[in-house]
């Protein structure tokens, strides 16, 4: 089995004003999405290891690199990240999950993001071409840092086709523009935001 990519789409956003107030620095987010052929569309296959071997490592290396290039940053400048899979109608959500929920996908991703330590938050679903996929983002070193808990909506008008999967990687150089809900670390200690 071989990875077959139809296209790669990169989406970036810079937010300068949020909640009617200028941000101290722009909130910069970028996602890279690969539209790939699903070799298991329309059939049930018990062993998904060939799909994992063909896709996970290559996409785990390629997609975060493309997302960082869109922002013009290095992995050390990335503060938050996430991943996702949108499976076409003739596939199973398990097909996308098999690709992104492996160390062969996650380890190269984390390595490129400055040797990040947290699990990559994820979103998986099935949908028709043009369906949205909201990518969850968390801090790359500490999942309890709430300022980096956010989502980034992505959509490709002509993907996924019924026999395709969209695999996504998202990175950000900061948290939300004006975080004010306090630290989960402090809340666990009994200190709540006022």
The 10s digit of each residue's pLDDT in 134-147 is 999 999 999 989 99
Average pLDDT score, the chain: 95
Residue 41 in any domain: the answer is yes
Residue 194 in any domain: the answer is no
Query: What string of H, E and C letters represents the secondary structure of 81-108?
Result: EEEEEEECCCCCHHHHHHHHCCHHHHHH
CA pair distance 97, 106, nearest whole angstrom: 12
Query: In the predicted model, what is the mean pLDDT of residues 83-94?
Result: 98
Element (H, E) at 61: helix 49-71
List the structure tokens of 112. Answer: 């490129």
pTM value is 0.95
CA pair distance 194, 181, nearest whole angstrom: 9
Task: Write down the pLDDT at residue 178.
Answer: 95
CA pair distance 64, 43, nearest whole angstrom: 30
Task: Write down the pLDDT at residue 182.
Answer: 76
Residue 193 in any domain: the answer is no
Confidence of residue 192 (pLDDT cuts 50, 70, 90): low
Residue 164 in any domain: the answer is yes
User: H helices then E strands: how many in the chain?
Assistant: 4, 7
What is the domain range of residue 176? Answer: 5-188
Whether 193 has a pLDDT exceeding 80, the answer reads no
CA pair distance 136, 120, nearest whole angstrom: 9
Domain CATH for 29: 3.30.1330.110
Residue 79 in any domain: the answer is yes
Residue 37 in any domain: the answer is yes
Q: How many domains does the chain have?
A: 1
154 beta partners: 133
- Asked if the bond preceding 88 is cis, omega within 30° of 0, the reply is no
Task: Write down the pLDDT at residue 53.
Answer: 98
Residue 30 in any domain: the answer is yes
Task: Write down the pLDDT at residue 73.
Answer: 98
Confidence of residue 129 (pLDDT cuts 50, 70, 90): very high
Task: Write down the pLDDT at residue 149.
Answer: 95
């Amino acid at each position: 089995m071989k990875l077959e990519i139809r296209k790669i789409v990169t989406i970036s956003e810079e937010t300068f004003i949020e909640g009617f107030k200028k941000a101290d620095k722009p909130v910069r987010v970028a996602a890279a999405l690969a539209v790939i052929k699903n070799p298991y569309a329309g059939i049930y296959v018990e062993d998904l290891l060939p799909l994992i071997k063909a896709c996970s490592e290559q996409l785990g290396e390629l997609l975060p690199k493309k997302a960082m290039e869109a922002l013009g940053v290095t992995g050390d400048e990335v503060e938050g990240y996430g991943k996702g899979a949108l499976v076409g109608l003739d596939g199973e959500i398990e097909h996308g999950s098999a690709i992104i929920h492996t160390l062969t996908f996650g380890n190269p991703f984390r390595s490129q993001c400055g040797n990040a330590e947290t699990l990559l938050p994820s979103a998986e679903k099935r949908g028709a071409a043009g369906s949205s996929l909201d990518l969850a983002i968390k801090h790359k070193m500490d999942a309890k840092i709430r300022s980096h808990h956010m989502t980034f909506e992505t959509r490709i008008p002509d993907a996924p086709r019924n026999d395709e999967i969209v695999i996504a990687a998202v990175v950000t150089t900061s948290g939300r523009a004006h975080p004010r809900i306090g630290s989960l670390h402090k809340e666990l200690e009994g200190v709540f935001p006022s």
